[in-house]
Amino acid sequence: MDVNLAKAHLRVARPTDNLSAVTQFYRDGLGLEVLYEFHDHDGFDGIMLGHKGAPYHLEFTRKLGHIAGRAPTQDNLLVFYLPDEVAWQGAVERLKSYGHSPVKAFNPYWDQQGKTFEDPDGYRVVLQNACWP
């Protein structure tokens, strides 16, 4: 079977113990849109965030009674490449305005042209002021 992943829509999904705080980080801090929410679907609550028409979205879920825990390392990253410096600086300032300060990246490469932020679960987001080649 030939699978054409080049045209696939990507969903990155992970559990959280802090659905409200994670939603605020990605929705308000990063400016992602709420695409869909669900409550008590087979015991799960969740939210999907992204931008309409973008080839990806993020899904965060919570199951009552299940402990998801924190990120296993400081190098669990989502990287957003923002080549326009004004847009990049705006994104950095937006996160700061919601109380999120940049952290030192585990891999120093990301500090050269980017800023790293930690979400409420310890997972990290890099805003990279560069083009993806």
Rg (CA), the chain: 16
pLDDT of residue 2: 63
Scanning the chain, the segments in alpha helix (DSSP H) are 19-23, 85-97, 109-113
For each of the domains in the chain, give its residue range(s) and CATH number, in order of start: 5-63 (3.10.180.10), 77-128 (3.10.180.10)
Q: Is the pLDDT of residue 115 over 70?
A: yes
Structure pTM? 0.93
pLDDT above 70 coverage of the chain, percent = 98
d(CA 122, CA 71): 5
Express each pLDDT in 34-72 by its tens digit.
999 999 999 999 999 999 999 999 999 999 999 999 999
Average pLDDT, the chain: 96
∠ CA 50-56-61, nearest 5°, is: 65
Express each pLDDT in 19-39 by its tens digit.
999 999 999 999 999 999 999
